[in-house]
Amino acid sequence: MARSIHLAAALVLVLSVPAAHAVEEAPLWEVGAGVAALDLPAYRGSDQRSTFLMPIPYFTYHGRILKADRHGLRGQVFDSDRLELTVSAALSPPAPSDSVIARAGMPDLQASFEVGPELDVTLWRSENRARFLKLQLPLRAAYTLERTPRDIGWVFNPKLNLDLTDVRGLPGWKFGFLAGPVFGDARQHDYFYGVAPQYATATRPAYAADAGYAGVQVLASTSKRFRNVWFGAFVRYDSLAGAVFADSPLVRRENDVAGGFAVSWIFGESSTRVPVDD
């Protein structure tokens, strides 16, 4: 949970497609590469930050079941006019304890992987399908990415998603807004915010986290395709006020802002074209 939202946001940025006006045809797949810069807290609630400058892939795929686009990488189980059930995933980078003062002497936070079902409910959509409001209901199981992966609990992050394209005066630009609470079970919270007795110090008492509310997140993003170049950026506000683990000694800040941008060059595409909407 600590930073999966950042990676999800990065995926929204790098897995983007041209703006859709109703149903249009697009290549079955496109490939490219680029670079992304991210500025993030070391973990949600940390008072230290990490800056990443990294190469990124650009890949879109509009298969009948498997899809990779501006909504992320997903397997579509069924799709109706208002309901969409997918299998979604997210990644979270590691946070080595030797670079985070609050976790000094504690085990590192490993990179983690989340996967699970997501039900999307379309609450409103414009006639040309260029704008929509959805309720997204992802429920994911989380595992560490290491030689012997560990189950580190569950994350539930219901959110409202407003997507806007075809904005007057801004042709080709896409804007996205996401907002919603985060919930996790005791294992998820304890992985990031628990302090086992053997790691307790005079300034870091032992702590066991409970399940429940884990704060709220609000994210805004924008992107545009310029022929064979794609640009995207996002900013995210994160609040842990009222979270069940807010009194953990590892929570040093209740509010924070993260952001980043990416630029990709598209150098290959399929000659097969398929209808795409949303």
Task: Give the residue extent of every domain in the chain.
Answer: 4-19+32-268
Distances (CA, A) of 237 to 1, 103, 106, 163, 257: 15, 23, 27, 18, 5
Where does the pLDDT of residue 201 fall: very low under 50, low under 70, confident under 90, or very high at 90 and above?
very high
What does the pLDDT average to over 67-80?
Answer: 58
**CATH number, domain 4-19+32-268, options 3.30.310, 1.10.10, 3.30.300, 2.40.160:** 2.40.160
pLDDT score at 13: 40
CA quadruple 151, 152, 158, 160: dihedral, nearest 10: -100
CB 41 within 8 A of CB 240: no
> Which residue shows structure tokens 């149903």?
23
Per-residue pLDDT tens digits for 161-200:
999 987 888 998 999 999 999 999 999 999 999 999 999 9
**Residue 253 pLDDT greater than 90, yes or no:** yes
133 closest CA partner among 123, 142, 118: 123
Share of the chain above pLDDT 70, in %: 84
pLDDT score at 206: 98
